[in-house]
Amino acid sequence: MKNSITKNFKFELIHQSSRSKARVGRIHTPHGIIDTPNFVAVGTNATLKALDSHTADELGLQLMFCNTYHLMVQPGAELIKQAGGLHKFLNRKNPIITDSGGFQVFSLAQGDTKDELKSRNNKQNEGSVLKISEEGVLFRSYRDGRMILLTPETSVQAQKDLGADIIIPFDELPPYTISPAKLKQSLDRTHRWEKRSLDEHKRNVNNQAMYAVIHGGVNREMRKESCDYLGNLDFDGYAIGGSLGKNHQELFELLEYVVPALPNDKPNHLLGIGDLNSIEQCVIAGIDTMDCSHPTRAARHGVLFTSQGQLKLLNSSYKQDFGTIDPECECTTCKNYSRAYLQHLFKAKEITAMTLATMHNLHYMIKLMKQLREKILMDLI
Q: Tell me the window of 208-216, 225-233, 319-327, 370-378 that interacts with a copy of itself (CB under 8 A).
A: 319-327
Strand, coil or helix: 144: coil
Residue 164 in contact with residue 98, Cβ under 8 Å?
Answer: yes
- What is the smallest separation between the CB atom of 161 and a copy of itself, expressed in angstroms? 14
Residue 105 in contact with residue 141, Cβ under 8 Å?
Answer: no
Return d(Cα 155, Cα 86) in angstroms, integer: 15
The mark string for 151-190 relative to a copy of itself (x by CB under 8 A, - otherwise) is: ----------------------------------------
**What type of residue is 96?**
I
Q: Which residues are catalytic?
A: 99, 291
Q: Is 84 in the site for a copy of itself (CB under 8 A)?
A: yes
Q: Is 338 in the site for a copy of itself (CB under 8 A)?
A: yes
Residue 138 in contact with residue 154, Cβ under 8 Å?
Answer: no
Q: Is 348 in the site for a copy of itself (CB under 8 A)?
A: yes
Among 345, 365, 366, 369, the residue binding a copy of itself under the rule CB under 8 A is: 345
Return d(Cα 100, Cα 77) in angstroms, integer: 12
Residue 107 sits at the vertex; the CA angle it makes with 244 and 182, to the nearest 5 degrees, is 65
Question: By C-alpha distance, which of 219, 92, 94, 100 is closest to 151?
Answer: 100
Return d(Cα 286, Cα 24) in angstroms, integer: 9
Q: Is 52 in the site for a copy of itself (CB under 8 A)?
A: yes
Question: Helices (H), strands (E): how many in the chain?
Answer: 15, 17
Q: Interface residues for a copy of itself in 226-255 (CB under 8 A)?
A: none
Residue 191 in contact with residue 199, Cβ under 8 Å?
Answer: no
Among 1, 2, 7, 79, the residue binding a copy of itself under the rule CB under 8 A is: 79
Q: Is 53 in the site for a copy of itself (CB under 8 A)?
A: yes
Backbone phi and psi for residue 110, each to the nearest 5 degrees, phi listed first: -85, 0
Q: Interface residues for a copy of itself in 19-48 (CB under 8 A)?
A: 45-48
The mark string for 57-76 relative to a copy of itself (x by CB under 8 A, - otherwise) is: -------------x---xx-
Cα–Cα distance list, 240 to 182, 312, 376 (Å)? 19, 31, 22
Residue 293: how many other CB atoms lie within 10 Å:
21
Q: Is 123 in the site for a copy of itself (CB under 8 A)?
A: no
- What is the smallest separation between the CB atom of 333 and a copy of itself, expressed in angstroms? 8
**What angle, rounded to 10 degrees, do the helices at 351-377 and 276-284 form?**
20
| Number of residues lying near a copy of itself (CB under 8 A) | 40
Residue 34: how many other CB atoms lie within 10 Å:
24
Q: Tell me the window of 166-174, 192-200, 277-285, 334-342 that interacts with a copy of itself (CB under 8 A).
A: 334-342
Q: Is 332 in the site for a copy of itself (CB under 8 A)?
A: yes
Residue 70 in contact with residue 49, Cβ under 8 Å?
Answer: no
Among 130, 351, 377, 378, the residue binding a copy of itself under the rule CB under 8 A is: 351
Q: Is 54 in the site for a copy of itself (CB under 8 A)?
A: yes
- What is the smallest separation between the CB atom of 209 and a copy of itself, expressed in angstroms? 25
Among 22, 50, 162, 287, the residue binding a copy of itself under the rule CB under 8 A is: 50
Report the interface residues with a copy of itself, using CB under 8 A: 45-54, 70, 74-75, 79, 82-84, 89-91, 319-320, 322, 332, 336-338, 340-341, 343-345, 347-348, 350-352, 354-356
